[in-house]
Chains A and B, each alone.
Chain A
């Protein structure tokens, strides 16, 4: 049969992208890829962050001709990629502190600029990547991030968002979504999980700084992720990429569901995938096949209390690297009945995202 195969039917998972023309193949399909995050790192089975970082950094390396320096905040990625005395990184890489990676990136960019000037060049050929998790980006690193944005420093900042402080045992961050169970937003009481009305939207905040490029992506659309990284590297100035990276351990999901959950986050409207330049949305990834939020939430034990099922007695232990406190689950107050009113709010939030970002071609009213 010679019918043309539509890309979405096979997506990123096409082995070696062999069905695509060479110029359309992903970086990962190439034997020339830098493999910047080399195998041997200690990430968990199904870690979304390892997947996202591997794709993102290799894409950045290809886009810059392997002339890239990376700064990394403290967190899962930093810890599992540099287990003493080894390192997985194949590019120049620095880890300083938890809250300062954007500033370290600023410093690297400044040094490169001066070095280029001393060599008589207009600008440096070497580019800078600063990366961290949601905790290091939205909370403790927020001040430095905003400073880097407002100065328009030539740094691409990538946030790998798994929606909690995972490395220290799944504590709540300002990226933790409403109703999610974490070690500090337990699934108990009248309103279990993360409280309503809190949290920050980093992509929107980045846009408010009017920086040249802001984009969101997920590990479900790895080709899209690579393309956004490569596009970001064609631009100079402050750039921000926010990648949703499911964490099986922290989310209480099966390790083989990582990519599926990322796709469901997009398809429910919970996680809008878009691009923006200088504060205005320029492109949006439409929802192809809309699904209700339940489908996304059910496979995650961190939302189990919303559904009134018998909750598993214990959640798996958190990553061992930083203290390894285990996240104990207790039956939610609504065990048996669930929290349909909370589910309704989550659905309403998704509806709002769809409206706001025009994620559907036809208006689908729920």
Chain B
């Protein structure tokens, strides 16, 4: 059924359709509306039977999820940014134990400096944790991915995080097509655990593993994620057959077939890039977009296949590795090793800075003209950066960086965007 609702609400309703047994979450912007929505659905009896637990921290949230999932219950939680870091130990524990928990990460920057707006640094910080990481381009895809995520997680016995841009998607009202309960029930059968805490058949879960077997246990996690490279497209295909639309999968190209320049990106910025590409195509530029829906497992083969005929690849990412450069671009480069093409890393949108069509077009034209450095920070205000560097060069007690920069920027309230 078509609805015009907030992205968070769409996710809450989709998760509810998946009939989770236990939902446990700790509030953090910008995930709050998702959890509030689910809390309401449980309290008013729409989603039943379901235990909705208000936990005391994100670490508790993931820990409760571990206990619940190990007992054979379909379990869900959601977080962002600082919360994801706070539960990091439990995040690794959940995947190490092979528990099919589904978690929404409403992508938000990580402090310091504290910032509540969107970028991908939170999910990226956990890219090695063993969780599957799926990224949604739109609110429709966000809700669809949650339904696919439970199926994927339970089939593989591996936790899945569905990443959606905080505020940009979570707080946007959009048209979505919400599936019916019967359709979701037919697509997603009840959870059949591979391991379960059951007095009838006692097992010990979580023993220490020494040097004798640790490598093998960890290798199996890697092998499982590699097998996901087949399972993810298969589930996306099943989803398309049942629900009638493409959502998820590994990668999705837009106008890449004859493109000389291809921009690679994750999340909602793909939408803006598509509009930018259409504008540039109208003016004769052979350019396309490759969206990555699966970041972990990283679809090396699919990315290579999509990019290998291009002359240049621009990876536009809302993340970066301090002291190195791109995060996504590093993985993309791996996919392209051995190929002769120009590669550019554009770090953009950190901490919620708007990514505009105008800036994108300007940056892409520079790349096409081979004037773009291999690593750039889009729309960086060099003036205030240089002022701070001068400040630090002149005096030891130069003060907190954030305050200095904000003073230079001036009051924000009077600005429109």
Contact = CB atoms under 8 A, between A and B. Distances in A.
A and B in direct contact, judged by CB atoms within 8 A: yes
Contacts of A293: none
Centre residue among B66, B197, B201 by max chain A CB count within 10 A: B197
A107 B22 contact: yes
B207 interface: yes
Contacts of B55: 103, 106, 147
Nearest to A83: B208
Contact of A147 (B49, B60, B71): B60
Interface residues of A, number: 46
Contact of B210 (A84, A111, A126): A84
A67 to B, nearest CB: 5
Contacts of A151: 53-54
Interface of B: 21-22, 24, 48-51, 53-57, 59-60, 63-73, 75, 89-90, 93, 97, 197-199, 201-210, 212-213
A171 interface: no
Contact of A115 (B48, B54, B72, B206): B72
Contacts of A144: 56-57, 59-60, 63
Nearest to A144: B60
A93 interface: yes
B197 A104 contact: no
A147 B56 contact: yes
Contacts of A147: 55-57, 60
Given A71-B67, A104-B64, A143-B56, A82 B207 contact: yes
Given A144-B56, A144-B60, A108 B67 contact: yes
A347 interface: no
A94 B63 contact: no
Interface of A: 66-69, 71-72, 78-79, 82-85, 87, 89-97, 99-100, 103-115, 117-118, 126, 143-144, 146-147, 150-151
Nearest to A95: B206
28 contacts: A69-B197, A78-B208, A83-B208, A84-B212, A87-B204, A90-B202, A92-B199, A92-B204, A93-B197, A93-B204, A95-B204, A96-B67, A100-B90, A103-B59, A103-B63, A103-B64, A106-B63, A108-B71, A110-B24, A110-B51, A110-B67, A110-B68, A110-B73, A112-B71, A114-B50, A115-B21, A115-B71, A150-B56
Given A107-B71, A110-B22, A111-B75, 17 more contacts: A72-B206, A85-B213, A93-B203, A93-B204, A94-B197, A96-B67, A96-B93, A97-B93, A104-B66, A107-B67, A108-B197, A111-B51, A115-B21, A115-B73, A144-B63, A147-B56, A151-B53
B60 A100 contact: yes
Contacts, number: 160
B47 to A, nearest CB: 11
B64 A107 contact: yes
A104 B97 CA distance: 13
B213 to A, nearest CB: 7
B205 A107 contact: no
Centre residue among A79, A89, A96, A150 by max chain B CB count within 10 A: A96
Nearest to A108: B67
A107 B197 contact: no
Contact of A92 (B64, B197, B213): B197
Given A106-B64, A107-B68, A95 B205 contact: yes
Contacts of B57: 143-144, 147
A23 to B, nearest CB: 25
A114 B197 CA distance: 14
